[in-house]
Amino acid sequence: MTLNRQEKLTGWVMLIPALLVLGLVFIYPIVRAFWLSWFTENLGTQLQPVFAGLSNYQRMLGDGRFWQSLSNTATFTVISVLLELLLGLGVALVLNKSFWGRGAVRTAAIIPWALPTAVMGLAWAWIFNDQYGVVNDLLLRLGLIDRGINWLGTPSLAMVALIVADVWKTTPFISIILLAGLQSISEDLYEAHRLDGASPWQSFIQITLPLLMPQILIALLFRFAQSFGIFDLVQVMTGGGPAGSTETVSIYIYSTVMRYLDFGYGAALVVVTFLLLVFAVAIIAWLLKQVRA
């Protein structure tokens, strides 16, 4: 056996424990969900699973609550990720500059991302409280409103509150990724561009954005997957209310399985959500590959 083959064999042997753990915590639940989605199993009405074929998926087509939760999830994901990308890019550009105390500012900028989501969600629920929340207090002091707004109890405003909380927490994550990309761009490129008479805006469009595109797509890849599966923030702040206006797919799946004990239909919801997420992530990954090519 050649040395190269021995190294490859040793590498695979070293990977076996990690692959086993990955199979137990990731692959097995997915396969189990696919299998269970073909059965009707509701502990509230029957204890034994009954093969149902595609009935769970057919039921999903006419499930208005599922489509509403999917719409809520898409709205939350698109708006929050877009705002986080724009703000994260701005923060990264500022933190990439040289100024006194930059290290301390960089450290402070990470704090929102480091906080547990459940704790942060509870804090934002208090901030948006209609009676003693900070937001209403500031608006009242500025004379912009004459009475407190029920942010978390109004369907059109509850989603706004969730997006604000999520953007505040996860913008630092994107800024860290983009900051790493900015630091890899040589200053010589900007200097040569300035000598050619280019403005700072032209340098940003022609140098920064093209060279930063791989990091932007990586940030979008991570944040899209995280936002699409959002659960803890919504559960703590609104619980999916009011009237289902902030109920995401994850919250609906949780209610189906844990509250109604409908494991078969809940598994079908998981499968469809998983496939949608894989499809979206595959598109972003393909775009990333095209940029790197």
State both tokens at 214. 């791989």
Give the structural domain span for 106. Answer: 69-260
226 & 289 share domain? no
268 & 205 share domain? no
Residue range 201-234, pLDDT digits in tens: 888 888 888 888 888 888 888 888 888 888 999 9
Contact 224, 81 (CB under 8 A): yes
Asked whether residue 116 is domain-assigned, the answer is yes
95 & 212 share domain? yes
CATH number at residue 169: 1.10.3720.10
Residue range 271-293, pLDDT digits in tens: 999 898 888 888 877 877 776 65
Asked whether residue 138 is domain-assigned, the answer is yes
Reported as a pLDDT band with limits 50, 70 and 90, residue 1 is very low
44 & 87 share domain? no
Percent of residues, the chain, with pLDDT higher than 90:
27
Instruction: Please tell me the total count of domains within the chain.
Output: 2
157 & 224 share domain? yes
Residue range 9-54, pLDDT digits in tens: 777 888 888 878 877 777 888 888 889 889 887 766 666 778 888 8
**Average pLDDT of the segment spanning 4-8:** 75
Residue range 136-179, pLDDT digits in tens: 889 888 888 888 889 998 888 999 999 999 999 999 999 999 99
115 & 250 share domain? yes
77 & 193 share domain? yes
Asked whether residue 19 is domain-assigned, the answer is no
191 & 111 share domain? yes
Cα separation, 254 vs 234, in Å, equals 12
49 & 99 share domain? no
